[in-house]
Amino acid sequence: MRILSWRLIVALVIGVTLVNVASSWYEVRSRKDALRSELERKAGTLGQSLAATAQLYLQAGDRDGLEEWIERFGSSENLLGIGVYGGDGSVLAITPALNSLMPGLPRILTDAVQANRPENNYMRLRFRRVYVLAIPLHGPKGAIIGGILMVHDTAYIRNEIFIVWGRVFVRIMLQVLVIVAITILIVRWSLTKPIARVADWIKALRTGQHAPPPTPGDMDFLLPLTREMAPLARSIETARGAAATEARLRNANESEWTAQRLAAHVRSRLQGSSLFVVANREPYIHNWRDGEIQVSVPASGLVAAIEPILCACNGTWVAHGSGSADTQVTDEHDRLQVPPDEPLYTLRRIWLSAEEEGGYYYGFANEGLWPLCHNAHTRPIFRAKDWEHYYNVNQKFADALVEEIGADEHPVVLIQDYHFALLPRMVKNRLPHARIAIFWHIPWPNPESFEICPWERELLDGLLGADLIGFHVRAHCNNFLNTVDHVLEARIDWEHFSVKRNDHMSLVLPFPISVECCDDTAVRPETDVADERRAVLKEAGVEATYIGVGVDRIDYTKGIVERFQAVESFLERYPGYQGKFTFFQLGAPTRTHIKRYADFQAEVEAEANRINARFRRGRWSPIVLLVRQHSKPEVQRYYRIAHLCMVTSLHDGMNLVAKEFVAARKDERGVLILSQFTGAARELRDAIIVNPYDIEATGDAIAQALRMDVNEIAERMRRMRSTIREHNIYWWASSLIGTLCEVRLEQMEPAPAPANDRANDRVTVGI
């Protein structure tokens, strides 16, 4: 950096000096010319008047008078001397100074007399710079009778020029000083310090210490470099984390699942086959923000689990392109390579019109299937128009999927959720050699409930196109098998949990989904947690000693109103906690296009306001309701500071919030209050299990949690963490894909049209 600084400084100094000298040279030249012109003009005027006087003396023949007069004028300012010469070249009168400088007849005078006009010249006389002017003298009739010579000293012009050059020099010196100072400061601020900070960061990465990445300002001019460095840094951190986990696992002789292990495992299971994932939600969303395209990753456990596999086997993810700038970044086949930093797999986007989205997503999936599958006392709404969209969108995804699979001989297809119940059959009919699994993320109801759906046969038939159908828990598998038994002609094998229908077998098995767990490094000291808690309370403008937290989409299945009522009941029956316990509810607005959801959000807000109005005093409030989508780090912050977390779903396939809370508590503190109607309640037996409909009992659970002995809290949390660590999201993905890869494919003939048991009497669209 020092060499660069010097180079910069020297180059700038030379440049500045050259420019200054060039422009000053002209300035000096013109000053010199002006001084000379002035001298010539003054000398000319003086010469003419002296010549006239000398002529008078000569005509009068008064040599003594001439000599006396010459003596008088010969010592004026800058005038070195005067000489008057006769027509024969004899000296008639001369000042002594001139006589010693120019003895004899000067050549310039002879030239002036011969040419009969004044002559002038600048010359050196005995190391003096002088200006000489010679003028011919005339008699009364105009005949030349001699000449007069005047010599001016020009040293003052030279002095003046030196002064000008001196000023130029000072100016150049000042500019050079300013330039050097500015260069040094710029180099320090914009180069040396940012580079030092980036170097410190790289060093910290190399040595495995945690260091925050440099600020965007530091990165600014190093942008091309940092564009490459940022992913490299992430890769190093991930690789280091993976290596540490592997070492820990080897040491503990455990077999915890990691993203790397999952990727390696699935790659070996796929044996060169390609993996195709279909989900409504895409893993990367491009949106216009402030005139720029920005990419975001939805906070989703599914992306975390599936992405390493797709990266490892160069797979394809097919999803609805819902971002405002999604179309701008895809190619002519609606594809793009992701992750954006290090493209490793293909994202194929499907475009849906607002009408299609309304019918398929909001209508059939979320107003129909969602309440149908959840026992939450909201009546499902089934409209023929929505069904038509649901069918057509499934068909659209099937077309895209078949196009993506192309001539692949061993495709493995993993379909996500209730948005695509028809897709397995649609794909299986066209590609019998494809291995297809569908994972149903929500509960499956009992046969009587499911029968409400006018298209229950079509849905079941669609699902049975899959080779593997996954639910979170065994009870949902049983409900599904019972429903098939009830509705369709099929052979159920209860021993192996399979359905055989039209020579095709589908396995129906539980795969409890989970979260990434558990990074046990660097547990934060309790004082940090207490500080963080104070900060959260201050931000909310609330004073409290104990904090409870709930994190949900504002969905009527999540039991949020019942949870608030349990807080109310707790405060009523344990008044000692009034003024001390505050419950923070993080509520993400969801599906607000649907009236039931908009109404429910208003109901949740009204209930929080009612309870707050009843109990609020001073700076304490029982409930803080934060209605917005929070970032993942924000949610984690609430998990870490809470004394208890409440999950009171009326019905829930699994519920990841319960598992996220446990995964976040490295400090083995915090109590989980968990609804018995969640899938998670089957695994997390060390939570306080509650029936959310029993408001008083749930209120008692809050008191039990706050009074629980710290050792018991730690013991319960340790056991729950161990469960989740063993059965984390990578374990889930490996079990699901591993099982799918092992399924024996029955050789089926491609069906001419989708199988449909009641195609003749019930179908409303062209299937």
Minimum distance of ligand ADQ from residue 417's CB (angstroms): 8
* Total residues binding ligand ADQ (CB under 6 A): 20
523-552 residues near ligand ADQ, rule: CB under 6 A = 551-552
> Which of 415, 442, 566, 672 forms a contact with ligand ADQ (CB under 6 A)?
442
Q: Give whichever of 657 and 705 is closer to ligand ADQ, judged by the CB atom.
A: 657
Its sign, for the CA torsion 552, 468, 255, 249, is negative
DSSP state, 544?
Answer: -
Binding mask 631-650 for ligand ADQ (x = CB under 6 A): ----x---------------
Among 416, 85, 106, 108, CA closest to 278: 416
> Which of 588, 689, 697, 708 forms a contact with ligand ADQ (CB under 6 A)?
588
Q: Give whichever of 442 and 488 is closer to ligand ADQ, judged by the CB atom.
A: 442
Q: Give whichever of 551 and 567 is closer to ligand ADQ, judged by the CB atom.
A: 551
Q: Give whichever of 499 and 513 is closer to ligand ADQ, judged by the CB atom.
A: 513
Of 200-208, 560-568, 592-600, 629-637, which part binds ligand ADQ (CB under 6 A)? 629-637
Structure tokens at 450: 């499911």
Q: Which residues of 90-113 are buried (b: 16+ CB within 10 A; e: fewer)?
A: ebbbbbebbeebbeebbebbeebb
Max Cα distance, the chain (Å):
157
Is residue 445 part of the contact set for ligand ADQ (CB under 6 A)? no
Is residue 630 part of the contact set for ligand ADQ (CB under 6 A)? yes
Element (H or E) spanning 264, and its range? Answer: helix 259-270
Is residue 299 part of the contact set for ligand ADQ (CB under 6 A)? yes
Among 342, 368, 262, 334, CA closest to 305: 262
Find tokens 């029993």 and name the residue: 694
Residue type, 70: I
Structure tokens at 147: 């000449």
Q: Give whichever of 326 and 552 is closer to ligand ADQ, judged by the CB atom.
A: 552
Minimum distance of ligand ADQ from residue 554's CB (angstroms): 8
Is residue 477 part of the contact set for ligand ADQ (CB under 6 A)? no
Residue type, 284: Y
Q: Give whichever of 151 and 442 is closer to ligand ADQ, judged by the CB atom.
A: 442
Q: How many CA atoms lie within 13 A of 760 on its CB side?
A: 0
Structure tokens at 667: 């400090």
594 φ/ψ angles, rounded to the nearest 5 degrees: -90, 130
Identify the three-state secondary structure at position 76.
coil
Is residue 629 part of the contact set for ligand ADQ (CB under 6 A)? yes
Q: Give whichever of 401 and 656 is closer to ligand ADQ, judged by the CB atom.
A: 656
Minimum distance of ligand ADQ from residue 629's CB (angstroms): 5
Is residue 70 part of the contact set for ligand ADQ (CB under 6 A)? no
Q: Give whichever of 131 and 661 is closer to ligand ADQ, judged by the CB atom.
A: 661
Residues composing the chain: 767
Among 765, 762, 751, 767, CA closest to 501: 751
Binding mask 500-519 for ligand ADQ (x = CB under 6 A): -------------x------
DSSP state, 366?
Answer: I
> Which of 660, 683, 686, 700 forms a contact with ligand ADQ (CB under 6 A)?
660
> Which of 194, 579, 587, 692 forms a contact with ligand ADQ (CB under 6 A)?
587
Q: Are 422 and 369 in contact (CB under 8 A)?
A: no
Beta bridge partners of 509: 470
Minimum distance of ligand ADQ from residue 190's CB (angstroms): 39
Beta bridge partners of 510: 471
What gap in Å lies between CA 700 and CA 575, rounded to an integer?
12
Residue type, 533: R
Is residue 748 part of the contact set for ligand ADQ (CB under 6 A)? no
Is residue 383 part of the contact set for ligand ADQ (CB under 6 A)? no
Is residue 656 part of the contact set for ligand ADQ (CB under 6 A)? yes
Find tokens 């980036």 and name the residue: 198
Minimum distance of ligand ADQ from residue 367's CB (angstroms): 15
Is residue 560 part of the contact set for ligand ADQ (CB under 6 A)? no
Q: Give whichever of 435 and 441 is closer to ligand ADQ, judged by the CB atom.
A: 441
Contacts to ligand ADQ by CB under 6 A = 299, 441-442, 513, 551-553, 586-588, 629-630, 635, 652-657, 660
